[in-house]
Structure 1
Amino acid sequence: MGILGSIFTWWNGATLGTTLALRGKSRVGTDALGNVYWQGGRDTAGRPRRWVIYSGSNDASRVPPEWFSWLHHQIDDVPDRALPPHRIWQKEPIANPTGTALAYRPPGALEKGGTRVRATGDYEAWSPDA
C-alpha cells in the first residue's frame, strides 16, 4: 500500500494518522496472522489502552481468541505468558465467512437452487378470527 493509500484508506490496515499515534507506545506482540498488538497510555477507566493493527483487511473476526482476551482486559499479560499452551484437540479459529463462498446457505437459498422441502401439512396459518 502506497503513501496515499495509508492516508485515505482505513480498511486496508492502519492509516497514516494511526501509525503516527503509535509513537511512544510499546509493541506487545504479533499473532499467527501477522496482526500487531500495541499498548500505551491509559483509557478513561485507568486501564492500559490496547489495540491491534491488522495485517490486511480490518476484520475483527481475524483476531484470535487469546489476543481478543488480552485486548478486552480479560487477561493481564500477553497470551503467550498468561494462557496455558495450545491443546492438540483445539481447532484453529477461522475468519467470519459471511459474504464469501464458504458462508452458510440454508436449504431454499437462491445460491443452492432456490428449492426447499415441501411443508408437511402440520402448519396452520394464523387467522385473526380464531
Structure 2
Amino acid sequence: MGFDDVLNKIFAWWNGATIGTLFTIAKRGRFVGTDEIGNKYYEAKDNSSYDGRKRRWVVYEGYADASKVPADWHGWLRYTFDLPPTEAPLPRRAWEKDHLPNFTGTPMAWRPQGSLAAEAKRPAATGDYQAWTPE
C-alpha cells in the first residue's frame, strides 16, 4: 500500500472504506458476503441498533453509490429478508435482467438519438413540421 493509498483511506470516504470504517468493521462487524459488483456486506456482532436488531451495512466497491446495491442485498439490508442472499438467494425468473447501477451523469449513461450528448448525428428534418405563427 503506497502513500497515496494511505491518504485515500484516511480522507476519501466516497471511494471505499476509510481507516476508521475498517477499524469499526474489524471490531464490531461480521462479514456476511459479497455481491457480483464487489460490494461487501456486514452485520453487527451484537444487537447494537436502537430497535434491538443487528445493524447491517455495505462497503461499496469503488465509488459509494446506493444504486449499486442489487435488489436481493437491498432487501437484506432493510430487514425485508432475515437471511442474506448467500444463504437464501432469491429465485430468478428467465425474464429478469442483471442488476445495473444508475449510470446518470457517467459516460455510460443512455443518450437517446438526437440528444446533444449522443455521438450519432441528428437525423435530417423530414419536412413534416409546420411552424406556428400568431394570427
Q: Is 1:59–2:62 an aligned residue pair?
A: no
Shift of 1:111: 2.1
* Structure 2 counterparts to residues 1-130 of structure 1, below 5 A: 2-22=5-25, 23-40=27-44, 41-105=47-111, 109-112=115-118
Shift of 1:33: 1.2
- Whether contact under 8 Å (2:33, 2:86) holds in the other structure is no
Count of matched residue positions in the alignment of Structure 1 and Structure 2 = 125
Q: Distance in 1 between matches of 2:90 and 2:17?
A: 31
- Whether contact under 8 Å (1:67, 1:79) holds in the other structure is yes
Q: Secondary structure at the match of 1:42?
A: coil
Q: Any gaps of 5 or more consecutive residues in structure 2? A: none
Worse overlay, 74-83 or 16-25: 74-83
TM-score, normalised to structure 2, is 0.74
Which AA in structure 1 matches 2:40?
V
Post-superposition CA distance 1:85-125 (Å, at most 9, x none): 3333321011111012332446764325799x89x78x9xx
TM-score, normalised to structure 1, is 0.77
Residues 56 and 28 of structure 1, relative CA distance in 2, 3 Å threshold? same
Shift of 1:43: 1.4
Which AA in structure 2 matches 1:29?
G
Q: Over aligned residues, Cα RMSD in angstroms?
A: 2.9
Shift of 1:6: 0.1
Percent identity reads: 43
Q: Distance in 2 between matches of 1:102 and 1:4?
A: 29
